[in-house]
Structure 1
């Protein structure tokens, strides 16, 4: 069931496009995951982890553009500090990353 969100709340969420620069295994995570380093242009480099190992290989993720929320507070995941949350459609155990249809400048806002 969906909850109604006020427009004023939605505009507080900072959605940006970034490009994945580095992908490494994250063996300390409870479920299989990668650690990602992402370039958000003027916002700088941010890191996160993602449980996307069922559909994506590390080499396929390099230089891929993604959409992420960049204004959540930092969150500790095992021994790792996450700076952002990448977005994906969840289909069972699979996560399909959301990304722009054409390449855009890193840091571009999503609305």
Structure 2
């Protein structure tokens, strides 16, 4: 473990639960990815790209709750402006999405 952060550093990261409501192909991406629209309840809708095409089909992702960082600045990815970062566990080159065990309110905080 070579990157130690303080508790105060961790509290700056705004992790929230959202539900994927739209999934589209992203042919302009350098690596295979989907374009996602995610509902974060009172925070509104946010867009993200995710390199999860190896593990997930588009229809599997619809209505799936996920964990995302919602307080990063927007980031240009090819022709797309990403507004949040979907969180997943990396298993080799595969990404497995993190999600709540039970359905929760969109926008719920993760701590």
Q: How far apart in 2 are the matches of 1:5 and 1:100?
A: 25
Q: After superposition, where does 1:22-101 map in structure 2 within 5 Å?
A: 22-101=22-101
Q: How far apart in 2 are the matches of 1:2 and 1:19?
A: 33
Match of 2:38, SS state, is strand
Is there any run of 5+ residues in structure 2 with no aligned partner, and where? none
Q: How far apart in 2 are the matches of 1:2 and 1:51?
A: 26
Q: Note the C-alpha offset of 1:92.
A: 1.0
Q: Deviations over 1:6-32 (max 9, x none)?
A: 000100000000000000000000000
Match of 2:103, SS state, is coil
- TM-score normalised by L of structure 1: 0.99
In the comparison of the two structures, how many residue pairs are matched? 111
Match of 1:35, SS state, is strand
Q: Note the C-alpha offset of 1:93.
A: 1.2
- TM-score normalised by L of structure 2: 0.99
Q: Note the C-alpha offset of 1:38.
A: 0.1
- Which aligned runs of 4 or more in structure 1 are off by greater than 3 angstroms? none
Q: How far apart in 2 are the matches of 1:23 and 1:92?
A: 24
Q: Note the C-alpha offset of 1:102.
A: 0.2
What is the CA RMSD across the aligned residues, in angstroms?
0.6
Q: How far apart in 2 are the matches of 1:46 and 1:62?
A: 15
Aligned equivalent of 2:107:
107
